[in-house]
């Protein structure tokens, strides 16, 4: 797949098939993502992929924690709409307005899928060392997007979601991570259920002239 096609076909996939992604494909996707630029070529990122038993345990323990009302404690603090600029907040409101009817049209699938971490067969956890600086977080965001585009290029769909990292201690325990490793983000990877409205939905973007100024 050409890179421009990958940019335009990648989309948030919120319901995956059970079909596993081959280890070689997962490895190739992460290897592709390593081409991401970083401050001084620091490559601060680490990746731990949960599949099979470790992922089954994470899904079960996340569900149990949620059912028990356990407080979320993501390593990168959760933010709310009010924490954003007026422009960003308006965009979020617009997105919610277009996405909510999709959820409501098949709310069973949405909530069931989310409660099972989208039923993804693999989750790539993106890790940083303790107390990461702003540029490492910037670099990790770029790494995340390269990873998702590489996945798209290899026929694998993805979802980056806060839901995957809201109980980071569970992730650290199940994946044998060290206590100082920051579980910054999770990217669900797999093959989408194409018939689900959740996956057919496409978010839109503001017109480019609202975010771009070219000065001669």
Ligand X SMILES: Cc1cc2nc3c(=O)[nH]c(=O)nc-3n(C[C@H](O)[C@H](O)[C@H](O)COP(=O)(O)O)c2cc1C
Instruction: Please tell me whether residue 31 binds ligand X under the rule CB under 6 A.
Output: no
Q: Which of 39, 84, 95, 138 binds ligand X (CB under 6 A)?
A: 95
- Residue 162 makes contact with ligand X by CB under 6 A: yes
Sole binder of ligand X in the list 112, 203, 206, 210 (CB under 6 A): 203
216 burial via Cβ count (<10 Å: 0-12, 13-18, 19+): exposed
Give yes or no for residue 11 binding ligand X (CB under 6 A).
yes
Q: How many CA atoms lie within 13 A of 37 on its CB side?
A: 2
> Residue 208 or 215: which CB sits closer to ligand X?
208
Neighbours of 52 (CB within 10 A): 10
| CB of 27 or CB of 203, closer to ligand X | 203
Angle at 134 between CA 80 and CA 137, to 5 degrees: 75
Q: Is 117 helix (H, G, I), strand (E, B) or coil?
A: helix
Residue 84 binds ligand X, judged by CB under 6 A: no
Does the footprint of ligand X cover residue 111 (CB under 6 A)? Answer: no
Rg (CA), the chain: 17
Question: Residue length, the chain?
Answer: 216
Binding string, residues 39-58; x marks residues near ligand X by CB under 6 A: --------------------
> Which one among 161, 181, 193, 199 touches ligand X, defined by CB under 6 A?
161
Cβ–Cβ < 8 Å for 113, 204: no
Question: Ramachandran region of residue 147, left (φ > 0), alpha (ψ -120 to 50) or beta?
Answer: alpha
Report if residue 107 touches ligand X, rule: CB under 6 A.
Answer: no
* 12: contact with ligand X by CB under 6 A: yes
DSSP percent split of the chain into helix, strand, coil, nearest 5: 50, 15, 35
Among the listed ranges 44-52, 126-134, 161-169, 189-197, the one in contact with ligand X (CB under 6 A) is: 161-169
Site residues (vs ligand X, CB under 6 A): 11-12, 14, 95, 160-163, 203
């Amino acid at each position: 797949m050409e890179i421009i096609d990958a940019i335009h076909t990648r989309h948030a996939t919120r319901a995956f098939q059970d079909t596993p992604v081959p280890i070689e494909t997962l490895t190739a996707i992460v290897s592709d993502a390593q081409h991401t630029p970083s401050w001084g070529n620091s490559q601060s990122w680490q990746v731990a992929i949960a599949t099979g038993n470790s992922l089954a345990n994470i899904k079960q323990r996340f569900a149990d924690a949620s059912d028990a009302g356990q407080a979320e404690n993501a390593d990168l603090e959760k933010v709310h709409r009010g924490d954003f600029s007026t422009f960003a907040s308006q965009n979020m409101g617009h997105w919610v307005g277009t996405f909510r009817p999709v959820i409501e049209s098949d709310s069973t699938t949405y909530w069931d899928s989310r409660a099972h971490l989208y039923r993804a067969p693999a989750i790539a956890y993106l890790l940083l060392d303790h107390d990461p600086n702003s540029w490492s977080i910037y670099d990790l965001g770029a790494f995340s997007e390269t990873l998702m585009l590489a996945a798209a290029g290899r026929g694998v769909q993805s979802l980056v979601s806060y839901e995957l990292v809201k109980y980071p201690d569970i992730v650290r325990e199940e994946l044998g991570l060290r206590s100082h490793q920051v579980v910054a983000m999770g990217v669900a990877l797999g093959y989408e259920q194409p018939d689900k409205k959740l996956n057919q939905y496409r978010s839109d973007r503001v017109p480019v002239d609202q975010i771009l100024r070219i000065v001669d």
